[in-house]
Every structure is written in C-alpha cells, then in structure tokens.
Amino acid sequence: MNNNYIANRSKGKMKSDILKIGAMAKADKALGNHVIDATIGVFLNDDKSINTVPAVIDNLNNNVTKNVGYAPITGYPAFKEGLLKWYLKDQYEKRINEYYIPFGATLGGTGALSIAFNIFLDPNQVVLLPSIMWGNYKLIAKKAGLKYDTYQLFNSEGNFNITNLCTKIEEYSGSQSNILIVLNDPCQNPTGYSLSDEEHVRLIKKLNKLSEKVNITVIYDIAYLDYDGNNKQVHKIFNNLFNNEVKFLPVFAASCSKVFGMYGFRVGAIFTFIKDEELASNITAAIESQIRGTYSSPNGPALNCLGNALLGEDIDKLSNEIYNNTITLKERTTYFINKLNETNIKHLPYKSGFFVCLPCSDSYDICEKLKEQHTYLIPIADDIVRIAVCSLNISEIDELVMVLKEVM
C-alpha cells in the first residue's frame, strides 16, 4: 500500500495562474483595498457586473426549466440552426445546400477544442499552437494525449507569420500523416490580433499547396468572433473560406461564453463545412462518440434557450444588444491603446478583442511589483504581460496607465 492512487497520466498541477491571480485580486479587494483587476477574460460593465445579452437572459429566465431532459448527443437541431444562422446570416440557406455540416453542441469552446484535439490526432502526435497563446490549449492537448509545438505568431513586421507556420507543417509532415493547427482568430487571446483578409487568403493558398502532401485540419477558434467588425454581417473569416478553393479541413470551435454572455452555462459548438458525404458522416460519428464517452450529452436547457433566442422574433433586438456590447469594448480598447501610445508604452499588434499585451523584459517581476500597487495583470509569457481590458472601465484604464508608466 502507498499513496500513489493517481494514475501517471493525471498527475501534475496546473501551471496556469490566471484564475489564481484573479483570486488574489479578489482577496485583496475583500481587505478593503482599491484594486485594479485585469486578469480574467470576462467582459464586465462599468459597474463591474458581468456584461450579458438581455434577450438571452430573458429567454433563460422564461424557459430554462421548461425542458430539463437530456439533449440529443450533438444538441437540439434548433440550436444548430440558430447558431449557424447567427454566423451565416443571409447565406444560411445557400451554405446548408452546398455543404454537409457535421455539428456538435459542446461544453463551451473548451469542449469543442477538446473534441477536436481528440478526433483529429492520435496520442503522441503534435498539435501546432501559436507561440503566444491562451495557455489552456496546452492542457487540453495534454489531456488528449498529444504533444504540442508552437509556430511563431508574428513575423518581424508584426504581421501573422505564415512562413513559420508553413515551415512547421513541413517539418511535421515527414512524421505525421495528419497535421492539426490551432488558429485563434479573430481577436486572438492574448494579443488581440486578427488576420487581415489578405493574410487569410494567402494562408489558405499556402495551406492548399501543403495539403497536396499531408492532411491538414485547421481549428479556427472563433470564441471572440463577434467582437471583430460588424456582427450584423457574415464575418470575413467565413467568406474567405467560402469564396476560395479550400483543400484542407477547416473546423470551427465556437463559444457562446463571450458573445452571448453565457460563460457558466458552458455552451459552444464544433462544426465544419464539407462537400464529401462520407467524410462528413465519419466526422459526425467521431464527434458523437467523443461526446458520449466523456460527458454523454450537452447542457440541454441552455441550448434550448439560446436556440429559441436565436430563432425567435427578438433576434434583431439580440443582435443590436450584441452590437452595442462590441461598441463599448471597442471604445475601451481604443481609449487604452491611445493612452499607451501617448505614454510611449509599447504593445503587441492589436486589432480587436478582450486583451492587449505588453512586451517587457521580465513579466513575472513586473506583475509582482504591480501587485504591491494592488494592480493585477497576467504574465502570459516570460516577456509578455496580458491585460484584460474587457474587465476595466475608463477610470480604471486611466489609473492603470499611470501605474504602468511608473513600473515599466
């Protein structure tokens, strides 16, 4: 007998400190201190309440207990229809006739990523992640039995580094028959980078060429999609894929946390657009068995409510509410970036989204010093500090810039 009850594959503590640092900020506040907490990727209103979408909340209030039964393994058809209509707008009919769309409702975007990591690679294969990334990808990969390598996110001009990604694909195409890449776009966490149309189309062409040698699956992590551009139009990420020849497999990991304000309800989806019937049916089967063998079925009551809201007559109201949220975020981040520029504090290339990153010499040291001033940020890498601007109001941004000026 010994105390070694935990299997080797489940040993090891989580290294990610985001939630821990967030908890420190809360504890500091509870002591009565004036705290600036820019740790967690949750969009807060100016009064620090969680930013939600009233049309979604109304539906939850009225309907969440109306159907508490188990949902089908891949979710209710109305949820699939509602979410795809949300993304595809007036192209919905055209695209559902043009493509097979394997689809699974998941436990958040995290659930979608976990399913994708499990179904597109075998254990010990390598998934390609961005060099600056949402750290949870690494843990999701580990839990799927995968290894990971990183591609350089930026080139020396501060643009998306297509060349390095292609080099990595070539490197692994010698030893792996399937290549899996995560592209967190638009509004990349943590940088806020979004690919331009030109970059995306160039990437598609390069991936097409490489697909002649090896099967490539690209997971588009679109957790923050509606915070980029105008949410009333089909996002360019879809148009670029529909309007160009695509020889790789584009798979979407969608999250209903950030855009629909349903963080704790754990709603998301995995889906793809495919012309080959057999491949589509195999992907659906793989998604189904992955769901059934892990958590059996998704959160039915929440899917039901969001499906109702997305297909209901208040859809324009819902869309306007989300539009207003995106404008509020844009105002805050533009204000912050302008302040940084005025103060000569460098930031990594930012286009849209919840976070802004500052390059620095020692992020851990800087974050420790900031804590002494009751200011909590995340050291996302040795030389990068992440700021969740989504959780700050304008007066906190002013205060933060003053503190940064002093410490950096």
Binding site for ligand PLP (CB under 6 A): 41, 108-110, 134, 184, 189, 221, 223, 255, 257, 263, 268
Cβ closer to ligand PLP: 52 or 282?
52
- Dihedral angle computed from the Cα positions of residues 149, 155, 160 and 164, in that order, rounded to the nearest 10 degrees: -40
Closest distance to ligand PLP from the beta carbon of 133 (Å): 8
How far, CA to CA in Å, does 118 sit from each of 115, 290, 345? 5, 8, 41
Cβ closer to ligand PLP: 193 or 263?
263
Closest distance to ligand PLP from the beta carbon of 2 (Å): 36
Cβ closer to ligand PLP: 102 or 261?
261
Task: Give the neighbor-by-neighbor strand order of the sheet with 215-221.
Answer: 103-106, 268-272, 249-255, 215-221, 178-184, 126-130, 147-151
Nearest by Cα to 225 from 251, 203, 253: 253
Question: Which residues, 6+ apart, have CB-to-CB distance to 201 below 8 Å?
Answer: 240, 244
SS (H, E, C) 178-239: EEEEEEECCCCCCCCCCCCHHHHHHHHHHHHHHCCCCEEEEEEECCCHHHCCCCCCCCHHHH
Cβ closer to ligand PLP: 189 or 304?
189
Closest distance to ligand PLP from the beta carbon of 361 (Å): 26
Closest distance to ligand PLP from the beta carbon of 45 (Å): 18
Question: Which residues, 6+ apart, have CB-to-CB distance to 209 below 8 Å?
Answer: none
Cβ closer to ligand PLP: 111 or 300?
111
Token couple for 99: 């493509």
Closest distance to ligand PLP from the beta carbon of 373 (Å): 26
Token couple for 267: 């709603």
Closest distance to ligand PLP from the beta carbon of 33 (Å): 26
Cβ closer to ligand PLP: 294 or 338?
294
